[in-house]
Amino acid sequence: MLKWLFKRSAKPQPVQEPKPRSIVPFVDGGRVTIRKAARHVKNTYEIRLGLFMAVQHKHLNFALVVPPGALVAEDLREKIAEHGGSIFEEEPGEFTIYIGAESRDGAELDGWVLGDQNALAKLVAAFGAEWPGPALTPGAQFVGEHLLALATAVSRTPLRLVNVDEEDVKGALLALIESARTSGGTGVPAMRPNPSLCCGFFRSG
């Protein structure tokens, strides 16, 4: 499935820690903040990374910001509370798009950041009005037959886009789909308004 979207603060100050593949928690006002645009928020690596950063920097607090009414996984709520973090609800503003794959048991396999909302709009526009264009929204998931159909659509569509890691989006998407498909489980290209195509994962079934 595809992974989550993250929202940037107006003047974000990146935490000076090594980070894999453009996962981007930000420090703003003494908080390590991760913003999600998805309506279902799972306990994912990028959130745990942000929480770890806050714990390591004892003068910082952790905040997870989700849309009003979003469903936050109970184990994630417990983990954030355990380390003194907070969960806030507010309407999503600007965000970036994370796309990732996960296994049948929900374990994350791989993923990357596509870019901001403009990057997502370009990806959707590349497919035109045909599926999967309209389905590429924050929180989308592609499983089973839809995963295979997505692979076919991506293969047939000219995608002249790169992600924030300067990787060819077409090749990177196909690699995620293959990872999900061969994981023996729910490897779904998903899009998360922060895994998050837009936000979420790819799963094979």
pLDDT given at position 22: 46
**d(Cα 14, Cα 139) in Å, to the nearest integer?**
25
Instruction: Answer with the residue of higher pLDDT: 53 or 171.
Output: 171
Q: Which of 13-17, 83-87, 130-134 has the lowest mean pLDDT?
A: 13-17
Q: What is the pTM assigned to this prediction? A: 0.65
Per-residue DSSP letter, 89 = E
Question: In the predicted model, what is the mean pLDDT of residues 28-54?
Answer: 84
Question: In the predicted model, what is the mean pLDDT of residues 9-38?
Answer: 59
- Is the confidence at residue 129, as pLDDT, over 50? yes
Task: Output Rg (C-alpha) for the chain, integer angstroms.
Answer: 16
pLDDT band for position 168 (50/70/90)? very high
Question: In the predicted model, what is the mean pLDDT of residues 88-111?
Answer: 81
Instruction: Answer with the residue of higher pLDDT: 188 or 48.
Output: 48
User: If we measure between CA atoms, which residue out of 160, 33, 44, 32 comes closest to residue 110?
Assistant: 44
Contacts of 95 (CB under 8 A, 6+ apart): 5, 6, 7, 8, 35, 37, 116, 117, 138, 193, 194
Instruction: Answer with the residue of higher pLDDT: 15 or 129.
Output: 129
- Is the confidence at residue 8, as pLDDT, over 60? no
pLDDT band for position 24 (50/70/90)? low
The rounded mean pLDDT for the chain is: 77
Give tens-digit pLDDT for 191-204: 443 332 333 444 44
Q: Which of 14-23, 53-62, 127-136 has the lowest mean pLDDT?
A: 14-23
pLDDT given at position 96: 75
